[in-house]
Structure 1
Amino acid sequence: MDFARLRTLRELSLRKTMAAVAEALLISPSAVSQQIAQLEDETGIELVERRGRGVRLTPAGQRLVDHAGRVIGILEEAKTDLAELKKTVAGELRVSAFPSVASSLIPRAIRAISVRFPDLETIFEELEPDDSLAALRAWQADVAIVDDLTASASLSETQVEMLHLLDDHLYVLLPPDHPLAERPHLTLPELATERWVLDTTSATYSAVIVRACRDAGYDPIINARCHSFEVVRAMVEAGCSISINPGLRGRDYIGTLRLKEIRPIITRRMFVAFRSGERRNPAVAQFVNELRNVAASMTAPH
């Protein structure tokens, strides 16, 4: 059976639509459909059921995907073995991370490792934690940064190793003339009557904020939902809303706004993740070390 077609089928099992697979594999949706059709001709059995814009694997398709996963895993393990034997840091390394931590850690780590190992090509993709873990499982990423607030259901992955990088706190973001702007810290109940702007790029992250407010006894009054921190910041600067943001992001991008730590402190733990056993790969090992060095040099805002 053709290996490329098997990989396409496995991607389809993870991403559910031809368009998403095409984007991941950098081919056209029609090419994805054609590869699946050719694989069905090759095996002589229906592998997918098309439902509207999405697809679902048949039992035969799922069985074949399970076999494909083991084959791909063996090939990736072979690549790791050879890289370990060569003891050279070269080739291509695919890295993913979510926005707030990516802007703080990733550029510095990539710059440092490119100076030390010019033959290593590091390719970065911005992904939310759950998507990063999916990319690791699908061999679309080699190293990922995740956190325990938005990927808590997946941190026990047996296929993935995790190393703690650093802890970050969540902060209230206020306009400079807000009545609470001079307070050293704030509690969530004190914000019950405020209007909120949420960055909904990650539905899981915004759900964490809403749940924290509900635990404090109220539903937040949300007057804006945005898909970028730039719009969140603009809403707060104009005095339209307040927000809660990660300390790492706030340290670099708040401008004239006021950042106030929440009491009791809401902490998120961040981890660097990679497939089990792949720290033997010199490129993975060196990049993980660079990330840990960058993380150790960082301090949270006050």
Structure 2
Amino acid sequence: MIDLRRLRVLRAVAHYGTITAAAEAMHFTTSAASQQIRQLARELDVTLLEPHGRRVRLTPAAHRLLAHADAIEARWEQAEIDLRTASDEPAGTVRLCGIPTAVAMLLAPAARPLRARYPRLDVRIREVEQEVGYNLLFDGEVDLAVVEATWSNPPPGDPRFDQRPLADDPFDLVVPADHALAGRDAVELVEAEREDWILPSVTCTCRRVTLAACGAAGFTPNVAHNALEWNAIAHLVANGLGVALAPRLAYLPTHLPIVRLPLTGRASPSRKLLTCTRAGGREHPAVAAVLTELSERAVTVAA
């Protein structure tokens, strides 16, 4: 009989990439995690890890075993839902996380009506960076994550996660209220090619979206300023220091003298937001209630 605890260590190594990172996530020492893998390999009489330069990598046998391990985890998820749900009414604690704009514009506004509608439901929200959401789901620390679709996400067919579209979030051109373009209903991005530009930090996916969109429009933006938060970007624009692209879900202070202009034409960027659960997790009544509320709210907020 396979020890499921050791199987979870192997899954963590595959997810985090190294034994050290897996051990840290599971609150083991590296030595203890390595010992678990070795014992699992002896139990099955197969090699699970092999040297790869200064590191190790999973063997083909380990990958075959992981396919079964992911299916087992999904069945355990479903078993817990079946055993802990006394009725179909959402109840208990539901743990949510999301990227900053999702927390501000979707998760937080959704929590209040959910708590009013389901008095036995306790909604907990956590703001995270993009990659952290998947780790928290994998570790069982949250039940639902709202993330952005990016190239670095797990692929759509990853058996560990259930990822589905939530909303398209178009980008607007943000200009000072006294800008020559401010009175327009919509603009093409190329019309801002000679402007000074304000970009988010290098860790923000919106920076890559801005650079790619400008490139698709046929120009390289003159980056005059960089900022970490949308609040700072909005103040830089308001003071006439440049223009910026901002997703529609990004909150910009309404008292500032700035204008958001919808973009037209081929170089009109948009990002996709996803809801993500562990495989089988969407069937939990509390998670299903959150998903319904989020879907309704996303239609109006991103319009």
Residue aligned with 1:258, SS? strand
Matches of 1:245 and 1:107, distance apart in 2: 20
Describe the shift of the 1:198–1:12 C-alpha distance in structure 2 as closer, same or farther (beyond 3 A): farther
Residue matched to 2:260: 259
Q: CA deviation at 1:110?
A: 1.9
Residue matched to 1:223: 224
In the alignment, is the contact (CA less than 8 A) between 1:13 and 1:57 conserved in 2? Answer: yes
Matches of 2:233 and 2:183, distance apart in 1: 21
In the alignment, is the contact (CA less than 8 A) between 2:167 and 2:302 conserved in 1? Answer: no
Equivalent AA in structure 2 for residue 157 of structure 1: G
Matches of 2:22 and 2:113, distance apart in 1: 32
Query: If the length of structure 1 is used for normalisation, what is the TM-score?
Result: 0.77
Matches of 1:140 and 1:253, distance apart in 2: 35
Q: CA deviation at 1:109?
A: 1.4
Residue matched to 2:115: 114
Residue matched to 2:290: 287
- Which consecutive residues of structure 1, in runs of 5 or more, have no partner in the other structure? none
Describe the shift of the 1:32–1:87 C-alpha distance in structure 2 as closer, same or farther (beyond 3 A): farther
Equivalent AA in structure 2 for residue 290 of structure 1: E
Q: CA deviation at 1:83?
A: 4.3
Query: If the length of structure 2 is used for normalisation, what is the TM-score?
Result: 0.77
Q: CA deviation at 1:103?
A: 0.7
Aligned residue among 10, 25, 35 for 2:32: 35
Matches within 5 A, 1:1-302: 2-17=3-18, 21=22, 24-25=25-26, 27=27, 31-43=28-40, 44=42, 47=49, 56-59=57-60, 61-83=62-84, 86-127=87-128, 132=133, 136=137, 139-147=140-148, 150=150, 156-157=156-157, 159=159, 161=162, 165-200=166-201, 202-250=203-251, 255-264=256-265, 265-275=268-278, 277-298=280-301, 300=303
Q: CA deviation at 1:135?
A: 5.2
Describe the shift of the 1:63–1:41 C-alpha distance in structure 2 as closer, same or farther (beyond 3 A): same
**Which one is further off, 270-279 or 214-223?**
270-279
Where is the helix percentage greater, Structure 1 or Structure 2? 1
Equivalent AA in structure 2 for residue 280 of structure 1: E
- Calculate the aligned-residue CA RMSD, in Å: 3.6
In the alignment, is the contact (CA less than 8 A) between 1:8 and 1:35 conserved in 2? Answer: no
User: What is the aligned-residue identity percentage?
Assistant: 28
The Cα offsets for residues 5-63 of structure 1, whole Å up to 9 and x where unpaired, read as 432432232222567546755x3xxx2414312303423466475877x7644555545
Describe the shift of the 1:34–1:104 C-alpha distance in structure 2 as closer, same or farther (beyond 3 A): same
